[in-house]
Amino acid sequence: FFNVKKTQPLQGKKLLITAGPTRENIDPVRFIMNRSTGKMGYAIAEQAEKMGAQVTLVSGPVSLAPPANVNVIDVESAAEMHKEVLKHFTDADAVIKTAAVADYTPKFHHEHKMKKQPGESSIPLVGTADILKELGSKKDKQILVGFAAETENVEQYAIGKLQKKNIDMIVANNVAAEGAGFGTDTNIVTLFKRDGSKTELPKMSKTDVAKNILREVSRMLKKE
Ligand code: CTP
Ligand code: CA
């Protein structure tokens, strides 16, 4: 009687979360990467586990400690992230795609260090697969949450992504704002849902942002 635990909001739910940047190799000594540090995605993974979920975290290269009791799968490139996410997708109840996936990868991943040449140079790039868009076209029961990192026209771009990718909620993030974006411990986000709702959150810790996002996910899972 005294040991009865309150049921956790995400008890028994399987959450698939992605975090961090991806790293696209040019040659053995050089790569293309972005400014994502993984803090937001790791905060979501940690909080989801505390809320009772079974969490798989597909992580790009970051320098953060793996959250306790979370199944962490380390990847480097967008192609590797794509493969791992698809592998775990069918099993998931909800997917939260926090990762900053590279939109392009070098067309050639040179086996040997490239040598400098006189004059101008360029690296040919090819597009990567849009993982979230693919999930949106494949989903049956899964709740899908995306992030939109923007520096202008935040609302317009975010809602565009919500529709184009066929997802349930998008977390819009003005990465140019003070106290938001890459590497900070705080964030300023607005949540847009498919039903047209808009929730503007004030500046808060990434842990609290994570709790707000997961509360919405838990609500959407109950409505199914
Ligand atoms: N995303 C993805 N696969 C990609 C690119 C993006 O799964 N190849 C996901 C991100 O994880 C994020 C969402 O899509 O949840 C939006 O990413 P973002 O870079 O903001 O949007 P893009 O659609 O790539 O558009 P753009 O970069 O032109 O703004
Ligand atoms: Ca992008």
Ligand 2 mean position, distance from CA 128 (Å): 10
Give residue ranges with CB within 6 A of ligand 1.
78, 97, 99, 101, 103, 128, 130-132, 146-149, 161
* 193 among annotated binding-site residues: no
Q: Give pLDDT tens digits for 129-169.
A: 999 999 999 999 999 999 999 999 999 999 999 999 999 99
* 25 in catalytic set: no
Check pLDDT > 90 for residue 1: no
Check pLDDT > 90 for residue 4: no
Share of residues in the chain with pLDDT > 70 (%): 98
* 83 among annotated binding-site residues: no
Predicted confidence band at 117 (pLDDT cuts at 50, 70, 90)?
Answer: very high
- To test the pocket of ligand 1, the residue of 58, 88, 96, 101 to mutate (highest count of ligand atoms within 8 Å of its CB) is 101
Return the ligand 1 atom nearest residue 147 CA.
15
Q: Give pLDDT tens digits for 9-50.
A: 999 999 999 999 999 999 999 999 999 999 999 999 999 999
Check pLDDT > 70 for residue 106: yes
What is the structure's pLDDT at 6? 73
Residue whose pair of structure tokens reads 């380390």 in the numeric block: 74
Q: How far is CA 201 from the centre of its chain?
A: 19
Choice among 34, 173, 174, 187 that is catalytic: 34
More confident residue, 198 or 3: 198
Tokens, residue 177: 């704002």
> Model ipTM?
0.99
pTM above 0.90, yes or no: yes
Rounded to the nearest integer, the mean pLDDT of the chain is 96
Dist. CA 114–CA 98, nearest whole Å: 33
What is the structure's pLDDT at 3? 64
What is the structure's pLDDT at 224? 76
Write the residue with the smallest CA distance to atom 4 of ligand 1. 130
What is the structure's pLDDT at 7? 87
| pLDDT mean over 190-205 | 96
